[in-house]
Amino acid sequence: MTQHRYPIKSLILDYLRAGVGLSLTAGPLIITDIFTITAYILLFLALLFTVFAIRTVLRQITTVALTSSGVESTGLFRAELDWCRLERVRLRYYTTRRDRRNGWMQLSLMGPRTRQIKLDSSLEGFEDIALAAAREARNRGIVLDSTTTDNLYALDAPIGTLERR
């Protein structure tokens, strides 16, 4: 069994983004008496930054365990998916630039009744979990879509023979 966490280095940047965003949106609402459409826009943006900050806290307290029998995510919310119940694996890449140089991957592991675990590539050991999920999918005869297969090949790690579809 291996345990994985989101590194504080990546979380600090998210905390800074949330703090700056909140100060630029909620700050003017607190120190002035504006009751125009601008106030509603700032309030909406402040709520978005608050949700982002809460999401960052949740990632900080989350631990993901990779075992021979499956994946377990613990923190405020707990999710567990045994390999024998795995029905679908998706690996997506999201870019922040047109040249596709900067971005992140998101791994979705789905079981019955839409039970799923979502992990992003800033998680320590993300590649190990993605490759273990791909191996289990292949062993169980689960067909991976072409985007997932291409993204697995982009990880540059041996995972056996994956069919490209």
Q: What is the pLDDT of residues 89-124, one digit of tens each?
A: 999 999 877 766 778 899 999 988 756 899 999 999
How high is the pLDDT of residue 100? 64
Q: Is the pLDDT of residue 165 over 50?
A: no
Q: What is the pTM of this model?
A: 0.79
Are both 54 and 85 inside the same structural domain?
no
Are both 55 and 79 inside the same structural domain?
no
Are both 96 and 150 inside the same structural domain?
yes
Largest CA distance in the chain: 63
- Tell me how far apart the terminal alpha carbons of the chain are, to the nearest angstrom: 32
Domain count, the chain: 2
Are both 27 and 47 inside the same structural domain?
yes
Are both 35 and 83 inside the same structural domain?
no
CB 80 within 8 Å of CB 106: no
Residue-number span of the structural domain to which 8 is assigned? 2-60
